[in-house]
Amino acid sequence: MRKDIEIPEVKDVYVAIVQEYNPEFEWNDWNAYIINDRKDPIEMVLIVSSGFNDDKITSTMRHSIKMMPAKSYAKIELMQEEVLKLTNEFRVSFFADKKMYDKKYVFEKNTISPETIGPLPIIEFKGALGK
């Protein structure tokens, strides 16, 4: 029955949009990262991302990571400036502790800018965490 299904709460796993300098183009890029701040690894990480507003929808992007060690991070994708004007969603699913975890991280439209970013767990860049 539905009441018997346990849905564990995701803790210490984040999606962040980070601004970092790209020396090849001499420009600051925006990139999405997944951060594993847990004390144990996470496995079979699946990430589905998309952006939207009232009249636009981006392509759905899918990414997978076999295993992320404890206290690590990985780049998901480049975020173009135009996409930051949209609401962006990242659905993250992974296995840990012999359980499947799932969480949706949302970045509301026009909320990511150099003025709104700050320090992040583990990663040395400044950025914004999804809610």
pLDDT tens-place string over residues 88-123: 999 999 999 999 999 999 999 999 998 989 999 999
Closest CA to 115 of 84, 91, 77: 84
Ordered domains of the chain (ranges, CATH): 2-129 (2.60.40.10)
At 2 the pLDDT is 66
- Residue-wise pLDDT tens digits, 42-53: 999 999 999 999
The DSSP element (H or E) to which 76 belongs, if any, is strand 72-79
Structure tokens at 31: 């990139």
Neighbouring CB atoms inside 10 A of 38's CB total 19
Query: What is the longest distance spanned by two Cα atoms in the chain?
Result: 56
Tokens of 105: 């991280």
Report whether 128 contacts 111 (CB < 8 A). Answer: yes
Q: What percent of the chain has pLDDT over 70?
A: 98
Query: Which residues have CB under 8 Å from 111's CB, separation 6+?
Result: 128
Average pLDDT over residues 11-39: 94
The pLDDT mean for the chain works out to 93
